Chain A
Amino acid sequence: MNRRPLLEIRNLRVRINGQEILKGITLAVYPGEVHSIMGPNGSGKSTLAQVLAGREVYEIVEGEVLYDGEDLLPMSPEERARRGIFLAFQYPVEIPGVSNLYFLKAAVNTVRKQRGLPELDAMEFLALAREKAKLVELDESLLQRAVNDGFSGGEKKRNEIFQMTLLEPRLAILDETDSGLDIDALRVVAQGINALRHPDRAIVLITHYQRLLNYVTPDVVHVLYDGRIVKSGGKELALELEEKGYGWIAEEIIGSARS
């Protein structure tokens, strides 16, 4: 069947301000899969996520990225979004003055246009937004408020998941969407993610904790350490990391470098 990866990263090296952050990442994510990327602070997780979404401040030193078989790196951020890539931001941006509802309607309609679907009018969109808001237990008052403006940390994260469920991406990259959530919010976020799971879609979960993985079972867990994927494994790897921290990985790397 369809054994072409949805996302394929080959030896990706990325620099910012002259400093190399990603030092050769190779990774393949197939349709239907959930991958989890774990790693200590500063290891490059967000950098990878932002590069995949098209952030222009990073310098690509080497490597390539294929999305559904196509060269991803030359595409603008908006083109990637329209083709089905979604990044849930670690730090969602506040946009005072623009209502959440308006913002999302504009976003959903550009994506729909790309997919050859008719645009939704205000009423149709409101109905859709209400339905999806219910799914992620997002308070309806947040729809009328300005995008993320004055939202609590948890509300911002929920809002990211809410956007994801509206945009129905093919490749969702969630950058620490589980951080700073209480257990109820975490459950809701997991629910949103699980609702998206589909044989044609893939999900990349960037996280520090295996907590979320109790609710969303990953197919593969990767450890990102100092800009490299140093270990990949099944979901047991997440448990092991939770238990032992990242120290032992550092030792392993040093050990293997010595031998």
Chain B
Amino acid sequence: MKDMRLDHRQEQALYRTHFAQWNERLGAREPAWLRARREAAFARFEALGFPTPRQEEWRFTNIAPLLRVPFRLAAAWPERPLPDEWLAPYREWAAYHLVFVNGHFAGELPTDDRPPRLLARGIRALLHEEPEILEPHLVRFAEDASSAFTALNAAFLTDGAFVRIPRGAVLETPIHLLFLTLEEGMPAVTHPRNVILAEENSQATIIESYVSLGDGQYFTNAVTEIWVGENAILQHYKVQRESRAAFHIASVRIAEERTAMALDFSIALGAALARTDIVAILKGEGAECTLNGFYWARDQQLVDHHTVIEHAAPHGTSREFYKGILDNEARGVFDGTIIVRPGAQKTDARQVNKNLLLSTDALVNTNPRLQILADDVKCSHGATIGHLDEDALFYCRSRGLDAETAREMLTYAFASDILNTIAFGPLRRSVGEWVLTEWPEGEMLKELL
């Protein structure tokens, strides 16, 4: 077999070739404003280059293994309808599903019974039909971030979801953006891009899932931009269940207006290397933000969360609660920044990160950073890294539970408080099942869900 690994120069050249091909394929079918934005993004990507561990932001996450693989742009899945078994696990969820396969919009279910003014569509289709809806929003917010991956995502913008919850609408049913990856032949890359707009006084839940249909190698490079209008309530869950050979790099950016409430919950279970950057900006007075996270990594998985909460206006509240379980030789990274801008008085910010190490070879780096530039604020943070409590293990065993069951029960117990905050029941139970299914004694623990 010939060695498929790339050096740095080859890899730059490859992306340039891919970009030229991509532009050619899109041809004149794309609005000029988007072409200009994509080209600017590619120029930014070239100027930035891929991050290295010498950069503070990437100190613990070396992406060299990702750069060595020559990913091709993933092709759309041509067949309709989609095989039923791909969707079966979600049919029971009372949700509107938008399904993407290999980064391309592939269908929705159910197709009727949508709230009339709700807009939830594939971006590529919308670009053809009503590009003027997208122009103010697409490749706009996230672009100030100096991330090569975000720039790359924009440059190769293919598809994704555009969701607009109209003013005053209260959606009882969550919207599920399901990104399925089907690995065939050469490793492929997808660049999903989502835009979510929750207009004034609206309320909705969005679940963004990344799921593999196999166990091969591929690369997801996702960007999601969320705007929460005045007094709107938006809950956003990102569920990462990539193949354990895959790379997952994602950026979530949230902007909140006056008295808006946003929840972002990042659930990371899969991928060989997973990095999620979340930035929430509380622009308007009295906005509230909750960032929750749960990660479980084993073997040689690496799971990295970098979060930034920026309090830019007074009377903002933020709560951040991340919990992680690391087994075998897995590595975890939690880096949480809280910025309080001058004038953002009466800010109340709290951050907690708790980690459970199940093996002596597992490792986690947890790093809180506070930048407080206002004087009348309440900010706190706390991080713990611990092992299972020996007293509790003995207590369980003294009641007849074998050591493995006791360990798993206490591990589940560790995760339960964060998982129990998942408000949408089917997702809450599913996350529990996805985790417990992988544990030797998990079957009996499912009663706890």
Question: Interface on A for B, CB 8 Å cutoff?
Answer: 53-57, 76-78, 80-82, 86-87, 89, 92-99, 102-104, 106-107, 110-111, 114, 122, 146, 163, 167
Choice from B389, B400, B413 contacting A167 with Cβ under 8 Å = B400
Chain A residue contacts of B414, Cβ below 8 A: 97
| Apart from A78-B406, A97-B412: 6 A-B pairs, beta carbons within 8 A | A55-B394, A93-B392, A93-B395, A103-B409, A107-B399, A110-B400
Choice from A78, A92, A122 contacting B400 with Cβ under 8 Å = A78
B417–A111 contact, CB under 8 A? no
In the complex, which residue of chain B has the Cβ closest to the Cβ of A105?
B447
Chain B residue contacts of A78, Cβ below 8 A: 397-398, 400-403, 406
B444 at the interface (CB under 8 A from A): yes
B127 at the interface (CB under 8 A from A): no
What are 7 A-B pairs at a CB distance below 8 A? A81-B400, A86-B398, A97-B412, A97-B416, A98-B413, A110-B401, A163-B399
Given contacts A77-B398, A81-B400, contact A99 B392 (CB under 8 A): no
B412–A107 contact, CB under 8 A? no
Chain B residue contacts of A102, Cβ below 8 A: 447-448
Choice from A81, A89, A98 contacting B397 with Cβ under 8 Å = A81
Chain B residue contacts of A54, Cβ below 8 A: 394, 397-398
B413–A107 contact, CB under 8 A? no
- The residue in A53, A77, A94 that gathers the most chain B C-beta atoms within 10 A of its C-beta is A77
CB distance from B195 to the nearest CB of A (A): 37
CB distance from B18 to the nearest CB of A (A): 47
A106–B417 contact, CB under 8 A? no
Chain B residue contacts of A86, Cβ below 8 A: 398
Chain B residue contacts of A76, Cβ below 8 A: 397, 402-403
CB distance from A72 to the nearest CB of B (A): 14
B391 at the interface (CB under 8 A from A): yes
CB distance from A143 to the nearest CB of B (A): 14
B409–A96 contact, CB under 8 A? no
B394–A77 contact, CB under 8 A? yes
B417–A97 contact, CB under 8 A? yes
B405 at the interface (CB under 8 A from A): yes
B394–A82 contact, CB under 8 A? no
B391–A93 contact, CB under 8 A? yes
Question: When chains A and B are docked, how far (Å) is the Cα of A181 from the Cα of B251?
Answer: 55
Question: When chains A and B are docked, how far (Å) is the Cα of A77 from the Cα of B380?
Answer: 41
Choice from B392, B397, B416 contacting A77 with Cβ under 8 Å = B397
A53–B398 contact, CB under 8 A? yes
CB distance from B260 to the nearest CB of A (A): 31
Given contacts A98-B448, A102-B447, contact A111 B400 (CB under 8 A): yes
B392–A95 contact, CB under 8 A? yes
Chain A residue contacts of B169, Cβ below 8 A: none
B398–A87 contact, CB under 8 A? yes
6 nearest A-B residue pairs (beta carbon): A97-B413, A97-B416, A81-B400, A107-B399, A77-B397, A93-B395
Question: When chains A and B are docked, how far (Å) is the Cα of A76 from the Cα of B394?
Answer: 10
In the complex, which residue of chain A has the Cβ closest to the Cβ of B397?
A77
Question: When chains A and B are docked, how far (Å) is the Cα of A228 from the Cα of B390?
Answer: 27
Chain A residue contacts of B67, Cβ below 8 A: none
Question: When chains A and B are docked, how far (Å) is the Cα of A209 from the Cα of B403?
Answer: 35
In the complex, which residue of chain A has the Cβ closest to the Cβ of B420?
A97
CB distance from A172 to the nearest CB of B (A): 12
B398–A81 contact, CB under 8 A? yes
- The residue in A57, A93, A107 that gathers the most chain B C-beta atoms within 10 A of its C-beta is A93
Question: When chains A and B are docked, how far (Å) is the Cα of A93 from the Cα of B398?
Answer: 11
CB distance from B403 to the nearest CB of A (A): 7
